[in-house]
Amino acid sequence: MSTIDEISGCRILVAGPTGQVARPVVARLAQNNEVFALARFSKSEDEAAIQALGATTIAADLASDDLSGLPTDLDYALNYAVVKTGDFDYDLAANGEGAGRLMMACREVRAFVHFSSTAVYQYAGHQPRVESDPLGDNHRMMFPTYSISKIAAETVVRFVAHQFDIPTTIARLSVPYGDNGGWPFFHLLMMKEGIAIDLHPEHPNYYNLLHERDYIDKVPALCAVASPEVTTLNFGGSEQTSIEQWCEYLTELTGLEPLFKDNPQAFGSLAIDTTRMHELIGPTTVAWREGILGMVRSLAPDLLKPGYR
Ligand SMILES: NC(=O)c1ccc[n+]([C@@H]2O[C@H](COP(=O)([O-])OP(=O)(O)OC[C@H]3O[C@@H](n4cnc5c(N)ncnc54)[C@H](OP(=O)(O)O)[C@@H]3O)[C@@H](O)[C@H]2O)c1
């Protein structure tokens, strides 16, 4: 039995269901639960796709819409919603205030899990980041509003949890990926098109790839460790790897070569210290090479060398 089956027969609200990370979670949870999926559904085809997974859709903008009519008697709420328009007013309203408004609207839940990002950490070279480390505007170069609004969101989430006694977890995602895509898949596409991949000059650029099977399987554990004091933990793969290593493996699988370009403004290493994660929710199980091979088999099988198909 997969650990995700520990949650069944529940009423669960998932915000941000159409995204890269949440879509496979919705697909899995909707098999055994009543799932309510909230997004703006800015691409009309997304709403039908989410309904086809068995979820009930709720079209709402977290930045501004009235959320008082959300379903009651919810067991869990999972907030994967995020927006990166580059407009500070809107992105702070949607990511920051929106997280708080969502919590207020479903404050009777047994657990609220807010998905944050390791993009909240200040760059610190190769040192794996601990949850208490300094925060900073890490992703400014590519996404101007992202780190600041993710930090703001965490603060709003803590405030609302404390005010209304809501058992809450903040999970700082490293690099989620899987058969639904993710950063390594973008790198594969860039390799195919001959587009340069920016790297911080302090090589290698370490991260903790987190496969979708693991981030789905850990949902019950993330809910179980929620507390009104708010449990904040890193959430990445137990194995550390690097952009350089996964691109080298993509070359082994496909023959495509990456075009690396040093750029001191690139994000740089964001490896995580996994101590608290292991204590609270245990290690992950998918080895990164296995996950990358599965991702390419699922999304771009034609690019694989014959021996890997
Ligand atoms: N992907 C990564 O590499 C990565 C890395 C670290 C952390 N994370 C975190 O993981 C979570 C999911 O990320 P993702 O990459 O899957 O995001 P994504 O693909 O951009 O999807 C974002 C989701 O949020 C919804 N959304 C956006 N603005 C909204 C609004 N104003 N009101 C309601 N819903 C809204 C979107 O649907 P509509 O546009 O239709 O509303 C979509 O369902 C986020 O918290 C992100 O910070 C992701």
Q: Residue 40 — very low, low, confident or very high, per pLDDT cuts 50/70/90?
A: very high
Distance of alpha carbon 40 from alpha carbon 213, whole angstroms: 26
pLDDT, tens only, 158-209: 999 999 999 999 999 999 999 999 999 999 999 999 999 999 999 999 999 9
Count how many residues are written for the chain: 309
What is the average per-residue pLDDT within 23-37? 98
Residue 214: closest CA among 293, 281, 141: 281
pLDDT at 265: 93
Say yes or no: CB of residue 61 within 6 Å of ligand 1: yes
Query: Is the Cβ–Cβ distance between 250 and 188 less than 8 Å?
Result: yes
Domain tally, the chain: 1
Tokens representing 131 are 């949850």
Give the tens place of pLDDT for each residue, 116-136.
999 999 999 999 999 999 999
Classify residue 194: in a domain, yes or no.
no
Pocket lining: 272 vs ligand 1, CB cutoff 6 Å: no
Q: Best of 47, 50, 82 to mutate for ligand 1, by most ligand atoms within 8 A of CB?
A: 82
* Domain assignment of residue 243, yes or no: no
> How high does pLDDT run on average in the chain?
97
Residue in this structure with the two tokens 């959320």, named with its chain if needed: 67
User: Does the beta carbon of 82 lie inside 6 Å of ligand 1?
Assistant: yes
Q: pTM of the full predicted structure?
A: 0.98
Take residue 99 and report the two structure tokens written for it.
């997280």
Torsion of CA 54, 150, 289, 5, to 10 degrees: -30
Q: Does 257 map to a domain?
A: no
Residue 181 beta carbon below 6 angstroms from any ligand 1 atom: no
Could you tell me the CATH number of the domain that includes residue 145?
3.40.50.720
Residue 309 in any domain: the answer is no
Residue type, 40: R
d(CA 138, CA 229): 26
**DSSP letter at 241?**
E
Q: Work out the percent of the chain whose per-residue pLDDT is above 90.
A: 99
Res 48 pLDDT > 90:
yes
Q: Is residue 247 part of a domain?
A: no
Q: Is 188 in the pocket of ligand 1 (CB under 6 A)?
A: no
Among 96, 103, 158, which residue's Cα sits nearest to residue 131?
Answer: 158
* 290: Cβ contacts below 8 Å, ≥ 6 apart: none
In a domain, 296, yes or no: no
252 lies in a domain? no
201-252 pLDDT, tens digit each:
999 999 999 999 999 999 999 999 999 999 999 999 999 999 999 999 999 9
Closest CA relative to residue 215, chosen from 190, 179, 253, 260 = 179
Domain containing 31 equals 10-180+210-237
Residue 153, in any domain of the structure? yes
Measured CA to CA, the distance from residue 306 to residue 309 in angstroms comes to 5
Model confidence at 1, pLDDT cuts 50, 70, 90, reads low
DSSP 86: S
Three-class DSSP category at 115: strand
pLDDT digits (tens, 9 = 90+) for 86-97: 999 999 999 999
